[in-house]
Amino acid sequence: MPSLHALCLVALCIPTAARPQDAQRAPAVEIARVDLEAHVRFLASDELRGRDTGSEELNRAARYLADVLRRGGVEPAGDGDGFLQAVPLVREIRSEPPAMTLFDDAGVEKAVEYGADFTLLGGGVAPREGLRVVIVRGEDELPAEPDEGAALYVATRYSTGMKWIASAGYESGEGFGALLFPGSSRPGRSRFRPGVGRPRLDEAGAVSSPPRVRVNGDLRARFQSGHFAKLDLSPNVELERVETYNVIGRVSGEGEDVIVFSAHYDHIGAGEPDPDNPERDVIRNGADDDASGTACVLELARAFARGPKPAHTLLFLLATAEEKGLLGTHYYLDHPPVPLARTLCNLNFEMIGRPDSQAGGAGRLWLTGHERTNLHEAFVEAGIPIGPDVRPEQNFFQRSDNFAFALRGIVAQTLSTYNLHTDYHRVTDEADTLDYEHMETCARAAYAASRLLADGVIVPEWNEGMNPARR
Ligand SMILES: [Zn+2]
């Protein structure tokens, strides 16, 4: 059924007078609608079930992307000799509430209840037994040496206590068995909920740091008075590894300085099937978000691989787990194939599948945070039809993978044509709703813009006071 939105798209598709001029400006390398459409139709197919991070379907998408790059003559820049960069993520599985048992001096046991007496604030998941309780009432009472057999009861606010611990050189308490903090003087009311947590990067701290516990009510008073001598603690959390990959290709230039072109190929997966209506669509296909940007980056990579050799080296990053908090890109930034200091700029692509009437309509890209750098002005000066971000209140500059680069001080912005359509993150973000004419025009403009960066015609710079890393 055609939505009002689909009808608008038809109206916006009518070619405008600007198009022939754009075509003249476009370089000899052709980016074709048919290729862009084929990528989107595969990535956004029901078969890929919404490309959730950790799913076999997302890994299938990764292999597809690697294959397209390889066949396009792009060099691999992932792990080993391949295009894939494994991104180590873990997620927590909780099936039972955390358990704690306390013992007084005489060895008398006191069982306590999760939620009312204590809650778990995070930290490592390994069970600990027979930890000696050490009371710390001031920064100067922290043990001089780490002690895996000690549970520190740090008798101050959690944030203050963590500062004491960090400034004593123990970071998040590494080397101790557990950290406990006073909570409310009344029993807590939080309830245990079984479930699977969000994927997160498997930093060393996720496993090696001690569990952090808050104690409430009567228990808090008893800890303060030194009533307990020992404790056992079982977080009852299992860590499950999540298998997922960034896909990275490279086109070597004359120099080693790098421009990174990126898009995220993950999406948010499928909902639970409706038992009363098993035919109901539950797959959030993510055609616009961000199969469209991914298709564009693939075609840019192929175009650069067969075009003239660029001045700078180009990396093409198709990132995983953007929807989980830019995790794939954060991992890339900690493990770049070329040292980060050589990265001059990141141009990211997010949702370019539908025209944005507020930003000039079909074939017209806009740049997030356009006022922050010299890029937008330079594109306009070169006659490339890229508009400003007309919805600054939406904060798009901070809402995609470019922001992770920007936080490291690298000039990084996103090209988009997102028009705030209501299919965003819904089962209706389907390949049929995209305008592939529009995408082709945008991808060609993107190539022209990217060429200026790749050939060093534009030297990317933050405008005065606009680099978010320096605040
Ligand atoms: Zn997105």
- 264-284 pLDDT per residue, tens: 999 999 999 989 999 999 999
Indicate if 232 and 249 belong to the same structural domain. no
What's the gap in Å between 51 CA and the centre of ligand 1? 12
Last residue of a domain, one of 224, 240, 256: 240
Last residue of a domain, one of 186, 215, 240: 240
Domain harbouring 313, CATH code:
3.40.630.10
pLDDT of residue 281: 95
What's the gap in Å between 297 CA and the centre of ligand 1? 14
What's the gap in Å between 293 CA and the centre of ligand 1? 8
Number of structural domains, the chain? 2
pLDDT of residue 201: 86
Query: Amino acid identity, residue 9?
Result: L
Indicate if 100 and 188 belong to the same structural domain. yes
**Full DSSP string of 12-54:** HTSPPTHHHHHHHHS-SS---HHHHHHHHHHHTSGGGTT-BTT
Range of the domain at 202: 92-240
What's the gap in Å between 296 CA and the centre of ligand 1? 13
Q: 1: pLDDT confidence band, cut at 50, 70 and 90?
A: very low
Indicate if 219 and 248 belong to the same structural domain. no
What's the gap in Å between 414 CA and the centre of ligand 1? 11
Indicate if 284 and 422 belong to the same structural domain. yes
Contact criterion met (CB below 8 Å) for 182 and 77 = no
What's the gap in Å between 400 CA and the centre of ligand 1? 6
pLDDT of residue 381: 97
Torsion of Cα atoms, 109 then 115 then 116 then 122, to 10°? 70
Separation CA 170–CA 160 (nearest Å): 14
Whose tokens are 């930034």? That residue is: 333
What's the gap in Å between 116 CA and the centre of ligand 1? 40
Indicate if 225 and 345 belong to the same structural domain. no
Q: Under DSSP, is residue 431 helix (H, G, I), strand (E, B) or coil? A: helix
What does the pLDDT look like over 319-328, one tens digit per residue?
A: 999 999 999 9
What does the pLDDT look like over 283-297, one tens digit per residue?
A: 999 999 999 999 999
Nearest to 102 by CA among 12, 226, 240, 11: 226
Indicate if 298 and 354 belong to the same structural domain. yes
pLDDT of residue 123: 84
Is the pLDDT reported for residue 27 higher than 70? no
pTM exceeds 0.75: yes
Last residue of a domain, one of 176, 205, 240: 240
What does the pLDDT look like over 405-434, one tens digit per residue?
A: 999 999 999 999 999 999 999 999 999 999
Is the pLDDT reported for residue 13 higher than 70? no
pLDDT of residue 171: 86
What does the pLDDT look like over 154-168, one tens digit per residue?
A: 999 999 999 999 999
Which of 12-16, 24-28, 124-128, 356-360 has the lowest average pLDDT? 12-16
